[in-house]
Amino acid sequence: MRGKVVSLNISDKKGVRKKPVDEVLLKADYGIEGDAHASSEWHRQVSLLARESIEKMRDMGLDVNPGDFAENITTEGLDLVSLPLGTKINIGGTVVGEVSQIGKECHTRCAIYYQAGDCVMPKEGIFIRVIKGGRLRVGDVVEVVA
């Protein structure tokens, strides 16, 4: 299975929409340098959401874009939620991540939930732990390797 990176997104605070950037540096067992969610102390170091999931929310009439769901990497062409825990993915030919969580529990309802009555990130977002770091750029290939 192959897809591509359509947006890379970071924020310096948790609980806010992330801003798109052209490239990021991922560090092994840490996450994205400069992102509020990066930490060696937990398994949700980097979040991914498919553009196809964002399109579902657009179809409901919302004006949303990559990063608005606080995902770090927006992909296209991969069914992310079908990847089992432990699946290894290669991004950009150098970065290796391992799927560490599928979906998440939302303890507080975000603005998107209140606008639409639903949110895709808790059901369709995934998280990875960074095994091997490197630089990523928009347009890089995302490939399931194991």
Which tens digits make up the pLDDT trace of 1-48? Answer: 899 999 999 999 887 789 999 999 999 999 999 999 899 888 889 999
Which pLDDT tens digit goes with each residue over 40-76? 888 889 999 999 999 988 888 888 899 988 899 999 9
Q: Is residue 59 part of a domain?
A: yes
List of long-range contacts for 39-45, beta carbons under 8 Å, 24+ apart: 43/100, 43/101, 43/127, 43/129, 44/100, 44/101, 44/104, 44/127, 45/100, 45/127, 45/128, 45/129, 45/130
Q: Is residue 113 part of a domain?
A: yes
Is the pLDDT reported for residue 118 higher than 80? Answer: no
Domain of residue 109, CATH code = 2.40.33.20
Residue 74 lies in domain: 2-31+40-132
**In total, how many domains does the chain have?**
1
Q: How does residue 105 score in pLDDT terms, banded at 50, 70 and 90?
A: low
